[in-house]
């Protein structure tokens, strides 16, 4: 990243962070919510052939199930991301 922006920035800070995500829905409802409203998930579903979408839903539900920390029928997961703060030169 620094090489790409080297001439335009005075400072660049990269920090790994974790977002605590809590959805008051079931795993299946969270997958459907993302399928309908979350841009990257929507685009993934639209790019997936119709016949393969049930397998994609199944895989996403399994993934959420593996990482879900909630015990009450809702979904509580951690999402790691890279925080980038750049200061213009």
pTM here?
0.79
Query: Residue 10: which pLDDT band, with cuts at 50, 70 and 90?
Result: confident
Helices (runs of H) and strands (runs of E) counted in the chain: 4, 2
> Is the predicted pLDDT of residue 7 greater than 80, yes or no?
no
Give 33-64 pLDDT, tens digit per residue.
Answer: 999 999 999 999 999 999 999 999 999 999 99
Q: Which residues contact 41 (CB under 8 A, 6 or more apart)?
A: 34, 35
CA-based nearest residue to 78, from 19, 27, 26: 19
> Is the predicted pLDDT of residue 30 greater than 80, yes or no?
yes
């Amino acid at each position: 990243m620094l090489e790409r922006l080297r001439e335009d920035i005075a400072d660049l800070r990269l920090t790994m962070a974790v977002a605590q995500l809590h959805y008051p829905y079931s795993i299946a409802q969270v997958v459907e919510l993302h399928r309908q409203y979350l841009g990257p998930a929507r685009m993934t579903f639209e790019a997936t052939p119709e016949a393969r979408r049930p397998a994609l839903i199944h895989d996403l539900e399994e993934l959420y199930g593996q990482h879900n920390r909630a015990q009450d029928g809702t979904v509580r997961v951690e999402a790691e991301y890279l925080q980038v703060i750049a200061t213009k030169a």
